[in-house]
Amino acid sequence: MKKVIKIETTEDFNDWLLSLTCNKKIQVTKRLIKIEEESHFGDFKYLDDDLYELRWRNGWRVYFTRISVKEILLLLGGHKNGQKKDIKKAYLVFSRYANSKN
């Protein structure tokens, strides 16, 4: 199927994804495929300063930013109970990414 949204990832996101169990990786990957192929984000929320979060009922969070209309960057994954710390870290990851592009 043709990709509608291009997804880029950071090392921080990749490390988080690799830390998950096989079943959890599959759940996250299925959601990302829906975004890529159908532009369907599901439950997500705009936080502030170009930062968004994908939300799961079980508390998982994936923080991302839009690079363009058709491209997003996955910054970091985490869980609701560590959300404040994760949001701060997501801003740092985004800042590092933005500075590396300048």
pLDDT bucket at 102, cuts 50 / 70 / 90: low
What DSSP assignment string belongs to 40-60?
A: ---SEEEEETTEEEEE-TTSE
Q: Based on the structure, what is the number of domains in the chain?
A: 1
Is 1 part of a structural domain of the chain?
Answer: no
- Interval 65-73 mean pLDDT: 94
Is 78 part of a structural domain of the chain?
Answer: yes
pLDDT > 90: what percent of the chain? 86
Distance, CA of 2 to CA of 48 (rounded, Å): 30
* CATH classification of the domain holding 80: 3.30.2310.20
Is 71 part of a structural domain of the chain?
Answer: yes
Q: Nearest Cα to 59, choosing from 39, 83, 37?
A: 83
Residue 36, domain extent: 6-101
Is 66 part of a structural domain of the chain?
Answer: yes
Model pLDDT for residues 77-86, shown as the tens digit of each residue:
999 999 999 9
Model pLDDT for residues 20-43, shown as the tens digit of each residue:
999 999 999 999 999 999 999 999
Residue 101 is encoded by which pair of tokens?
Answer: 């592009």
Is 79 part of a structural domain of the chain?
Answer: yes
* Helix intervals (H) in the chain: 11-19, 22-38, 83-101
Residue that is written with structure tokens 């890529």 in the block: 36
pLDDT bucket at 62, cuts 50 / 70 / 90: very high
Report whether 57 contacts 66 (CB < 8 A).
no
